[in-house]
Structure formats: structure tokens, C-alpha cells
A = this chain, B = another copy of it.
């Protein structure tokens, strides 16, 4: 990936996707906001340009956004994950990395956001891995970063992003993109199967947020200071 490639955000009109787009745009990173509707993608791009006049942002149908770079972020609710992955089958190419941010909250079936659904494959990320075309690898990340924190330009981020995946080199590429957002540290949380645990942190944080009236994040203590991804 060259520095000029945008970061595609499939589902970029949702709360998490829009929050990430805002943060990356403020960091000078070009963005391709994807949506099922080209019109809504365009509106989201225009809104982002209003918030960040220097933003390099395009609004595109999801499939077109996913073709714009090798590392593609999927930021849709669990309810829409399978449908989106089906729609991306023709768009994704071998060698691409799909960064799955999906959390199987019970809210997907009108349950509580403080509870989760069991996913047959073990995690939403492992479901994504089963669904992407051959040669596309899945990395799981960004489950614990609250959309309201990302969206509020006054909020100083200061938390970790736990990254799961089966190849360190893939995780490192994703980590570099995530760490372009000020205040986020990317931590290698292990193989993709560890998404079974990391995805569960979100309902726990949602529970804590309600109790403490805040937007909590996760930090691992005791990690060495050195660059984790060399």
C-alpha cells in the first residue's frame, strides 16, 4: 500500500465508521467511506468535509470503496455483517486484509447491548474469515473503541486496540493504520480465535459505561514501551 491509498471503511456511514473516518481525516489520512447507498456515502463524505475542510474523502458504494486499497475496514453492526460480506465477495481480491470490527451484541436480535450472542464459528471475526474469498485474510480490531469518543473532537483518546489475527505481518499493517489515530495504541492480542474474547469486551464496556456514565476504553498495563510491531 502506498501512502496515497485511502483507507476504505465499509459501513462508513455508521457510528463507528464515521468516528474512525473523522479521526483519520484529522490525521491527514485519505478515506473512502463506503455505504450500501452511494447517495448516503456521498452525504457522509460531504459531512466529513464540513467537519474537516482539508479532509481527503470520497463517498462510494461499499464494493467500490473496498477496491480502493489492500486493507479494508468493516464497521457494520453484527446484524448486517453477513450481508455485507456476501456483497463484498466479488469486490475483495486475494492479498487484501479485511479488518473486522464486528461485535456480536445481543442487540442484533433486540436483546441487551450488555450481552452477546454465541457465534457458531466462535466469534464474528471467525465468521468473517469463513465468508471472505480465498486469499483474503481477516484481522479483528477496534471493538473496544467507543464511537462517541471517536466522534467527539474534544475527546482525547488514550486507550489500546487489541488486534487478533493469524499472521503478525498482517496485524502489523493494521496496527500502523490504527496508530495513525492519536491516542490509540495497537496491541497484539494473539491469533484470530482470540477474537472470541476481545469481541466480548464491548458488552462489558457498555455495561460499565451505563454504570459510570462515561465512555470507557481498555488499556493493558505492564507492556514494554518499545514498538510492539517491529
Contacts and interface: CB of A to CB of B under 8 A. Distances in A.
A222 B224 CA distance: 22
Most B C-beta atoms less than 10 A away, residue of A149, A162, A198, A204: A204
Interface in A173-230: 187-190, 193-194, 196-198, 200-201, 203-205, 207-208, 211-224, 228
Q: How many identical subunits does the complex contain?
A: 2
Contact of A224 (B196, B212, B221, B228): B212
A43 interface: no
Contact of A220 (B187, B208, B223): B208
Contacts of A149: 222
A170 interface: no
B212 A228 contact: yes
Main secondary structure, interface of A, reads mixed
A159 interface: yes
Chain A interface extent, by class: 35 or more
Contact of A189 (B158, B189, B194, B207): B207
A140 to B, nearest CB: 12
B223 A207 contact: no
Interface in A75-106: none
A218 B216 contact: no
Q: State the 9 A-B residue pairs at the shortest beta-carbon distance, nearest first.
A: A190-B207, A219-B219, A217-B221, A197-B204, A197-B200, A216-B222, A159-B221, A216-B220, A214-B222
Interface of A: 114-116, 149, 158-159, 162, 187-190, 193-194, 196-198, 200-201, 203-205, 207-208, 211-224, 228
Given A189-B207, A217-B220, 4 more contacts: A190-B204, A197-B200, A200-B200, A219-B221
